[in-house]
Homo-oligomer: A and B are copies of this chain.
């Protein structure tokens, strides 16, 4: 299978290269960047020397469709929505890692991203690519979920589908490493400002909130709101999510673990932790795993959950490759068997 990557110089694009280079059935045939064409990717990214030496090319839909079987967009929000039309017209497979094709209800993209949405009928052609919960495995246009959204939805899916929680009590306290802020330069990503620091950056305002609520409504249509905070911690990779929610019925930690194990049975990338054990961020870095620990506090009737993913792996490129595998009919794990980089 031959693929092209558009927007390859950002962190998600580079991570796509990392995963795809290990995929036994996929070959990267062209890579595209609006800013630095002509140069070789390994000149700009010396870690890729002797590994991949394709030149950075200008975007050209026709050439991509001629040479490839699928195109990844790893562009910032607002780009792919301007570029996908020729691929859709030609029924050519797309996996989009940006937020451009995730929000299906009118005005939502505008409000949270501050940009004009793609036409909603075009958006609706895209399948939301939460890999463990995909509806239509044959979909050829995939809106790959956001990193926070992936972690949050995988955390609450078993609770919502099994109707175990009070819907107005969900509190999600998310923390992200700095690669989540992208390669752009700002005070927020300056080492001296960030190192030895922690800061809230979007309280009740993160653009993944509507994405999460939209997906939650699939499982529990009466949901109206969630409490969602996001902080930066001084690490490069990873999302660490602590969630709190009131149980709607009598339950125990043991029962909760059973619910999660059953829900994710056969899903190799979701690893439910044993009782009294919570995942550490580092145990998933560099991989496509999502590890979840859960406990119930009888005194407060609160279920606490700890969820960890690599924001560039399961939260972006890893899940995108998993979606490619689903689309192509490959085993879901193909090319994704990298052991997390511990220590």
Contact = CB atoms under 8 A, between A and B. Distances in A.
B199 A192 contact: no
Contacts of A197: 235, 280-282
Interface string A234-266: 111110101010000000000000000000000
A287 B49 CA distance: 12
Nearest to A282: B197
A283 interface: yes
Contacts of A138: none
B191 A178 contact: yes
A192 B302 contact: no
Interface string A189-226: 11111111111100110000000000000000000111
A183 interface: yes
A30 interface: no
B173 A242 contact: yes
A225 B47 contact: no
Q: Which of A46, A285, A338 has the most CB of B within 10 A?
A: A46
A124 interface: no
Interface stretch (A62-70, A78-86, A152-160, A291-299): A291-299
A47 B282 contact: yes
For this chain, the copies found in one complex come to 4
A187 interface: yes
B192 A48 contact: no
A313 B337 CA distance: 18
A227 B244 contact: yes
A343 interface: yes
A300 B240 contact: no
B271 A50 contact: yes
Given A46-B283, A227-B302, A339-B21, A192 B171 contact: no
16 contacts: A49-B271, A49-B291, A175-B198, A175-B233, A185-B187, A196-B238, A198-B238, A199-B278, A199-B281, A203-B295, A204-B295, A204-B304, A227-B244, A227-B302, A231-B240, A341-B341
The 8 closest A-B pairs by CB, nearest first: A47-B283, A185-B185, A199-B280, A197-B282, A18-B339, A47-B340, A178-B191, A47-B342
Interface of A: 11, 14, 17-18, 21-22, 45-51, 168, 171, 173, 175, 177-179, 181, 183, 185-187, 189-200, 203-204, 224-227, 229, 231, 233-238, 240, 242, 244, 268, 271, 273, 277-287, 289, 291, 293, 295, 297, 299-300, 302, 304, 306, 337-343
